[in-house]
Amino acid sequence: MDEEIKKIVKELFDIDVAPSVSIPEEQFGDVATNVAMQLAKQLGQNPRDIADQIATKLQNAPFVSEVSVAGPGFINIKLTDASLIEQAYSAPKKILEGKKVLVEYSDPNPFKPLHAGHLYTTLVGDVLARLVQNAGAETIRLNFGGDVGMHVGKTMWAVVKTLGGEDAAAVQALPVDTLGEWMGARYVEGNNAYEDDEQAQAEIREVNKHVYQLHNDNDHESTFAQIYWYLRDQSYEFFKKLYTELQVVEFDRFMPESEVANPGLEAVKAHIGDVFTESEGAVIFEGEQYGLHTRVFINKEGLPTYEAKDVGLSLTKWNDYHFDESIIITATEQAQYMEVVIKAIEQFAPEPAHKTRHLTHGVVKLSGGVKMSSRKGNILSAFDILQAARDAGEISGQATQENVMLAAVKYALVKNRLGGDVVYDPKESIATEGNSGPYLQYAHARARSILRKSETRNSKLETNQKLEHGERTLVRKMAEYSSAVELATRELAPHHICTYLYELAQTFNRFYENNKVIGDDREAIRLSLVTLYTDILKKGLTLLGITAPEKM
RNA sequence: GCCCCGGUAGCUCAGCGGAUUAGAGCAAUGGGCUUCUAUCCCACAGGUCGGGGGUUCGAUUCCCUCCCGGGGUACCA
A380 or A238, greater pLDDT: A238
The number of C-alpha atoms within 13 Å of A160 and in the hemisphere containing its C-beta is 21
pLDDT digits (tens, 9 = 90+) for A64-73: 988 988 877 8
Cβ contact A401 with chain B strand, < 7 A:
no
Cβ contact A336 with chain B strand, < 7 A:
yes
In the three-class reduction of DSSP (H, G, I as helix; E, B as strand; rest coil), residue A251 is classed as coil
> Does residue A160 surpass a pLDDT of 90?
yes
Predicted pLDDT at A397:
56
Q: Which nucleotides of B are covered by protein (CB under 7 A)?
A: 3-7, 11-21, 24-27, 32, 35-42, 57-58, 70-77
Cβ contact A196 with chain B strand, < 7 A:
no
pTM: 0.93
H-assigned helices in A322-401: 335-348, 350-354, 382-395
Report angle CA A485, A339, A147 to the nearest 5 degrees.
90
- Of A353, A416, A411, A327, nearest in space to A129 by CA: A327
Protein residue at shortest CA distance from C1' of B27: A428
What interhelical angle do A523-543 and A469-478 show, nearest 10?
20
Contact present, A358 and A325 (Cβ < 8 Å)? no
Residues 428-447, chain A, CB closer than 7 Å to nucleic strand B = 428, 431-435, 438-439, 442, 445-446
A375 confidence band (pLDDT: 50, 70, 90): low
pLDDT digits (tens, 9 = 90+) for A29-61: 899 888 888 787 777 778 888 888 888 888 888
pLDDT digits (tens, 9 = 90+) for A496-533: 999 999 999 999 999 999 999 998 999 999 999 999 99
pLDDT digits (tens, 9 = 90+) for A427-449: 999 988 899 999 999 999 999 99
> Does residue A376 surpass a pLDDT of 70?
no
Amino acid present at A218: N
> Does residue A374 surpass a pLDDT of 60?
no
- Of A56, A61, A55, A45, nearest in space to A4 by CA: A61
Cβ contact A528 with chain B strand, < 7 A:
no
What interhelical angle do A402-414 and A116-134 show, nearest 10?
80
Predicted pLDDT at A462:
87
R_g over Cα of chain A: 28
> Does residue A290 surpass a pLDDT of 60?
yes
A118 confidence band (pLDDT: 50, 70, 90): very high
CB burial of A193-228 (b: ≥16 within 10 Å; e: otherwise) equals: bbeeeeebeebbbebbebbbebbeeeeeeeebbbbb
Average pLDDT over residues A247-266: 95
Average pLDDT over residues A258-287: 94
pLDDT digits (tens, 9 = 90+) for A378-422: 678 888 899 889 888 865 555 678 899 999 999 999 999 998 899
Predicted pLDDT at A6:
82
**CA dist., res. A517 & res. A364, Å (int):** 43
A74 confidence band (pLDDT: 50, 70, 90): confident
**CA dist., res. A408 & res. A402, Å (int):** 10
Q: Which nucleotide is nearest to A298 (CA to C1')?
A: B75
> Does residue A455 surpass a pLDDT of 80?
yes
Residues 63-102, chain A, CB closer than 7 Å to nucleic strand B = 70-72, 74, 76
The strand pair at A100-104 and A325-331 is best described as parallel
Cβ contact A206 with chain B strand, < 7 A:
no
CB burial of A40-55 (b: ≥16 within 10 Å; e: otherwise) equals: beeeeeebbebbebbb
> Does residue A271 surpass a pLDDT of 80?
yes
Q: Which nucleotide is nearest to A281 (CA to C1')?
A: B75
Work out the number of other CB atoms within 10 angstroms of the CB of residue A174: 15
Report CA(A307)–C1'(B10) in Å, whole number.
45
Cβ contact A363 with chain B strand, < 7 A:
yes
**CA dist., res. A541 & res. A100, Å (int):** 24
> Does residue A371 surpass a pLDDT of 60?
no
| Mean confidence (pLDDT) of chain A | 90
Residues 20-49, chain A, CB closer than 7 Å to nucleic strand B = 20, 22, 24-25, 27-28, 32, 34, 37-38, 40-41, 47
Ranking A56-65, A133-142, A322-331, A454-463 by mean pLDDT, the lowest is: A454-463
pLDDT digits (tens, 9 = 90+) for A224-237: 999 999 999 999 99
Cβ contact A517 with chain B strand, < 7 A:
yes
> Does residue A161 surpass a pLDDT of 90?
yes
